[in-house]
Chains A and B, each alone.
Chain A
Amino acid sequence: MSMSSSPGEDLLAIEEAANNFLSQEYDFRRRNIYLQGTGNVERSLWRRFADLGWLGLSLPEDYGGAGGSAVESWMLLQRLGAYLVLEPYLSSVVVCGWPLVTHGRKQVRDRLLPELIAGRIQLSLALNEPEGKHPNIITTLATPMDGGWRLVGHKSVVLGAPTADYLLLSARCDAQRIVLLIRPDDAGVMIRPYRLIDGRTAGEILFDGARVGPDSLLAVGPEADELLDVARLAGAFGCVAESVGVMKAALAATVEHVRARRQFGQALSGFQAIRHRIAAMHIACEEADALGWRAAQAYSLADPKERLAAIAAAKSDVGQSARRVCEEAVQFHGAIAITDEFPVGHYLKRAVVNERLFGNSELWTEHFSKAVFGWP
Chain B
Amino acid sequence: MSDVPVADELGGFRAEVQRFLVSALPPELAARTKAGHTLSRDELMFWHRTLHGRGWVAPGWPTEHGGAGWSILQRHIYDEEAARAGAPSIIPMALTIVGPLLIAHGTDAQRTKYLPRILDGSEIWCQAWSEPEAGSDLASLRCHAERIGDEYVVNGTKIWTTFAQWADRCMLLARTATGDRQQFGITILLIDMKDPGVSIRPLPSLDGMHVLNQVYFDNVRVLVSDRVGPEDEGWGLLKSTVGHERILNADVGRARALLDRLIRTVQANPGAQPGLRSRVARAAIRLRSLEVLVMRALDSPDPANASGASIIKLLGTELQQEASWLMSEALGLYGLPYLPDVMQNGWQNEIPIGPDDAATVTPFYLFWRKASISAGTSEIMRNLIAQQVLGR
Contact B334 A339, beta carbon cutoff 8 Å: no
Q: Closest CB-CB distance, A67 to chain B, in whole Å?
A: 34
* Contact (Cβ within 8 A) A194 B338: yes
Taking a contact as CB atoms closer than 8 A, the residue among A156, A341, A362 that contacts B204 in the complex is: A341
Q: Specify the chain B residue showing the minimal Cβ separation from A333.
A: B373
Query: A337 CA to B368 CA in the complex, in Å?
Result: 11
Q: Which of B80-88, B134-142, B252-260 lies on the face that meets chain A?
A: B134-142
B354–A197 touching, CB < 8 Å: no
Say how far B95's CB is from chain A's closest CB, in angstroms. Answer: 22
Are the C-beta atoms of B135 and A263 separated by less than 8 Å?
Answer: yes
Contact of B203 among A264, A339, A349, A356 (CB under 8 A): A339
Question: Cβ of A362 and Cβ of B275 under 8 Å apart?
Answer: yes
> Is B212 in the interface zone, CB < 8 Å from A?
yes
A29 at the B interface (CB under 8 A)? no
Residues of B close to A262: CB separation below 8 A: 133
A356:B333 contact, CB within 8 angstroms: yes
Residues of A within 8 A of B374 (CB): 335
Contact with B along A330-349 (1 / 0, CB 8 A): 11001101111100010011
CB pair B333 A156 closer than 8 Å: yes
Contact across chains for A335 and B373 when beta carbons are under 8 A apart: yes
The answer, among A156, A202, A334, A363, for a CB contact under 8 Å with B373, is: A334
> A197-B338, A335-B160, A335-B370 are known contacts. Are A340 and B208 too (CB-CB below 8 A)?
yes
Considering only CB atoms, which chain B residue lies closest to A274 in the complex?
B379
- Check B336 against A202 for contact (C-beta < 8 Å): yes
Q: In the complex, are the beta carbons of A348 and B369 less than 8 A apart?
A: yes
Nearest-neighbour CB distance to chain B for A320, whole angstroms, equals: 11
Enumerate chain B residues within 8 angstroms of A340, measured Cβ to Cβ: 204-206, 208
B369 in contact with A197 (CB, 8 Å): no
Docked-complex contact B136 and A263, CB < 8 angstroms: yes
Interface centre among B273, B337, B363, B367 (most CB of A within 10 A): B337
A195 at the interface (CB under 8 A from B): yes
Residue of A nearest to B370 (CB): A338
Q: Please, what's the 1-or-0 string for B342-376, where 1 marks a CB less than 8 Å from any CB in chain A?
A: 00000000000110000000110111011011100
Name the one of A133, A156, A327 contacting B271, with C-beta atoms under 8 angstroms.
A133
Min Cβ gap B193→A in Å is 21
When distances are taken between beta carbons in the complex, the residues of chain B under 8 Å from A274 are: 379
Cβ B367 vs Cβ A338 within 8 A: yes
Residues of chain A lying within 8 A (CB to CB) of residue B133 = 262
Given contacts A195-B338, A196-B337, A334-B377, contact A264 B137 (CB under 8 A): yes
> In the bound complex, how far is the Cα of B373 from the Cα of A277, in angstroms?
16
What's the minimum C-beta distance from B63 to chain A, rounded to whole angstroms? 36
- Decide if B130 is an interface residue (CB 8 Å cutoff): yes
Least distance between B243 CB and chain A CB atoms (Å) = 20
- B159 lies within 8 A of chain A by Cβ: yes
B151 at the interface (CB under 8 A from A): no
User: Interface code B320-339, partner A: CB below 8 Å = 1, 0 otherwise?
Assistant: 00000000110011111111
Q: Do B333 and A128 touch across chains, with their CB atoms under 8 A apart?
A: yes
**What B residues does A77 contact at CB under 8 A?**
none
A29-48 vs B, Cβ < 8 Å mask (1 yes, 0 no): 00000000000000000000
Q: Which of A128, A264, A274, A340 is packed against the most chain B CB atoms within 10 Å? A: A340
Tell me the complex Cα distance, A192–B334, Å.
Answer: 14
Determine the distance from Cα of A341 to Cα of B208 in the docked complex, in whole angstroms: 10
Set of chain A residues within 8 Å of B369, measured between Cβ atoms:
327, 330-331, 337-338, 345, 348
Chain A nearest CB: distance from B214 CB in Å? Answer: 10
Question: Is B268 in the interface zone, CB < 8 Å from A?
Answer: no
Q: A197: which of B159, B275, B366 is its contact (CB, 8 Å)? A: B366
Q: Which residues of B contact A337 (CB under 8 A)?
A: 369
Distance between Cα atoms of A204 and B333 in the complex (Å): 11
Q: Is B4 an interface residue (CB 8 A)?
A: no
* Minimum Cβ distance to chain B for residue A324 (Å): 11
Taking a contact as CB atoms closer than 8 A, the residue among B160, B206, B363, B379 that contacts A273 in the complex is: B379
Which chain A residues in 306-360 approach chain B with CB under 8 Å? 327, 330-331, 334-335, 337-341, 345, 348-349, 352-353, 356-357, 360
Q: Which residue of B lies closest to A134 (CB)?
A: B271
Contacts of B335 in A (CB 8 A): 356
Given the contacts A335-B135, A340-B208, A204 and B353 also touching, CB distance less than 8 Å: yes
The interface residues of chain B lying within 8 Å CB-to-CB of A331 are 369, 372-373, 377-378
Is B15 on the interface with A (CB-CB < 8 A)?
no
Query: In the assembled complex, how far is the CB of residue B220 from the closest CB belonging to chain A, in whole angstroms?
Result: 23
* Complex-state Cα separation, A157 to B331, whole angstroms: 12
B362, A335: Cβ atoms under 8 Å? no
Which residues of chain B have C-beta atoms less than 8 A from A196's C-beta? 336-338
Chain A residue contacts of B208, Cβ below 8 A: 340
User: Are A356 and B336 in contact, CB atoms less than 8 angstroms apart?
Assistant: yes
The verdict on B6 contacting chain A, using a C-beta distance below 8 Å, is no
Confirm or deny: A270 has a beta carbon within 8 angstroms of a beta carbon on chain B.
Answer: no
Q: Judging by beta carbons under 8 Å apart, are B204 and A348 in contact?
A: no
Q: Contact check, B370 vs A157: say whether CB atoms are below 8 A apart.
A: no
7 tightest A-B CB contacts, nearest first? A133-B271, A263-B137, A157-B333, A362-B275, A345-B206, A197-B338, A340-B204
25 A-B pairs in the complex with CB atoms less than 8 angstroms apart: A130-B354, A133-B271, A156-B333, A156-B354, A157-B336, A194-B337, A197-B336, A197-B366, A199-B338, A202-B336, A262-B133, A331-B373, A335-B370, A338-B212, A338-B367, A340-B204, A340-B208, A352-B366, A353-B336, A356-B329, A356-B332, A356-B335, A360-B273, A360-B329, A362-B273
